[in-house]
Amino acid sequence: MLKGKNILITGANSGIGRVTATELARLGANIIMVCRNIEKAKAVQEDINALTGLNNVDLFIADLSSHHAIKQFSEGFYQKYDQLDVLINNAGAVFNKREENEDGIELTMATNHLGYFLTTHYMLPALKQAPNARIVNVASMAHRFVNFNYNNLNADKNYNFFKQYSISKLCNILFNKQLTSLLRNTSNITSNCLHPGNIASNFGRNSTPVFNFLIQQFSFMLTTPDKGAKTSIYLASSPLVQNKSGLYWYKKNPVVPSLDAINSEYARQLWEWSLEKTQIKEFGKTALL
220-267 pLDDT, tens digit each: 345 688 898 999 999 999 999 999 999 999 999 999 999 999 999 999
21 belongs to a structural domain: yes
CATH number assigned to the domain comprising residue 268: 3.40.50.720
Q: What is the pLDDT of residue 289?
A: 64
Tens of pLDDT, residue by residue over 56-87, are 999 999 999 999 999 999 999 999 999 999 99
How many Å apart are CA 113 and CA 120, to the nearest integer? 11
284 belongs to a structural domain: no
25 belongs to a structural domain: yes
What pTM did the predictor assign?
0.92
Confidence of residue 199 (pLDDT cuts 50, 70, 90): low
Q: Which of 233, 234, 138, 137 is nearest to 191 (CA)?
A: 137
Q: What is the pLDDT of residue 214?
A: 45
> Order of strands across the sheet with 30-35?
57-61, 30-35, 6-10, 86-89, 134-138, 190-195, 248-250, 253-255
- Active-site option among 122, 165, 234, 266: 165
What is the number of domains present in the chain? Answer: 1
Instruction: Clarify whether 165 is annotated catalytic.
Output: yes
205 belongs to a structural domain: yes
Domain that holds residue 85: 6-278
Confidence of residue 213 (pLDDT cuts 50, 70, 90): very low
Strands 86-89 and 6-10: parallel
